[in-house]
Amino acid sequence: MKKVNSYAAVAAAGLIMSVAGSAMAQTNSADPSQGRPPNQAPGGSDGPQVRAPVLRITSVEVIRSSHGPALDIIRVRGIASSNGWEEAELVPLTRGAPADGMLELVLVAQAPLEAREATGFEVIEAIFPLEIGHPFKGVNVHSASDSVTLTQVPGYAEGKAVGEDCAKCVGKIFVAKGAAAPAGKSAAEVVKEEQLPPMTRVIKHSDGIPTADSNPNRLTLVLNKEGRITTAIWD
């Protein structure tokens, strides 16, 4: 797990990250003093270091030390869409002391550079130590598709139940939202749209693909003529 700075250090540096909706964010993690081009990995390896919000937040916890002066540590767990996500960290959106006392954070990690088959979600977590005497009464942590709020410090809050990870979607019949499952098909033989993660893209046999953009938090399902899922990837 990547070490994170305290709130005091972050505030002093004036660090603030803007995340628009669930769009993938790219940040330059290179040190300008090292002379590396933006987004180039240490050691000169090819390919951008893409950092993006993880798919979902599963829990937010603030732990307080038992000996004074009291030290609060934020621990956040989430899920990544696939394997290959690394170096999770909590990045503050809040700058200075907020009027409502809530610290806004986003859980980000280094995303895979290539599309991954849907083999199941991966658990990911990060910690964020707070300065002694901090002004926060609660914390709200964002992911690519949701947020979890903790209104009492110290304390614990859980996110919503995680939906279908599509590890076993291939070969099943896709059922659009509001539609009925084909006659004679059991629940184990179909995948309902409302059970799928946010931003899921469904490509039917006759559909075109107008853009070639990439989003590691988007599940793409490819259907054959019969509406059966032939491919399930995070791309």
Check: CB of residue 117 under 8 Å from CB of residue 233.
yes
Which pLDDT band, with edges at 50, 70 and 90, does 174 fall under? very high
Residue 221 maps to a domain = yes
Residue 168 maps to a domain = no
pLDDT at position 163 is 87
> Which contiguous run of DSSP H or E holds residue 53?
strand 51-53
Residues 147 and 223 in one domain: no
Give the least confident one: 41-45, 95-99, 181-185. Answer: 41-45
Residues 116 and 22 in one domain: yes
Half-sphere exposure of 104 (CA within 13 A, CB side): 15
pLDDT at position 59 is 98
Enclosing domain of residue 219: 173-234
Owner of token pair 């006392």: 101
Distance between CA 79 and CA 193 in Å, rounded? 20
Q: In Å, how far from its chain's centre is CA 11?
A: 23
Distance between CA 51 and CA 86 in Å, rounded? 9
Check: CB of residue 166 under 8 Å from CB of residue 219.
yes
**Residue 13 backbone phi and psi in degrees, to 5:** -80, -10
Residues 151 and 219 in one domain: no
Which pLDDT band, with edges at 50, 70 and 90, does 220 fall under? very high
Name, in order, each residue with C-beta under 8 angstroms of 46's C-beta and a sequence gap of 6 or more: none
CA nearest 190: which of 204, 176, 207?
176
Give the least confident one: 17-26, 142-151, 195-204. Answer: 17-26
Model confidence over 23-68: pLDDT tens digits?
333 333 333 333 333 344 444 445 567 899 999 999 999 999 998 8
Residues 138 and 199 in one domain: no
In this structure, the strands spanning 155-158 and 116-117 are unpaired
Q: In Å, how far from its chain's centre is CA 227?
A: 29
Residue 66 corresponds to which amino acid? S
User: What is the pLDDT averaged over residues 88-108?
Assistant: 96
Residue where a domain terminates, one of 95, 127, 158: 158
User: What is the pLDDT averaged over residues 198-202?
Assistant: 94
The pair of structure tokens assigned to 148 is: 């979890």
Residues 185 and 142 in one domain: no
pLDDT at position 231 is 98
Residues 93 and 195 in one domain: no
Residues 138 and 78 in one domain: yes
* In 19-100, beta strands by DSSP E: 51-53, 56-64, 72-80, 86-92
Residues 111 and 216 in one domain: no
Residues 147 and 48 in one domain: yes
Cα radius of gyration (the chain) = 20
Q: Indicate which CATH number applies to the domain containing 184.
A: 3.30.10
3-state DSSP call for residue 63? strand
- pLDDT value at 10 more than 50: no
CA nearest 41: which of 52, 54, 53, 28?
28
Residue 121 maps to a domain = yes
pTM for the structure as a whole: 0.78
Residues 120 and 30 in one domain: yes
Residues 153 and 69 in one domain: yes
pLDDT at position 16 is 31
Residue 1 maps to a domain = no
Half-sphere exposure of 74 (CA within 13 A, CB side): 37
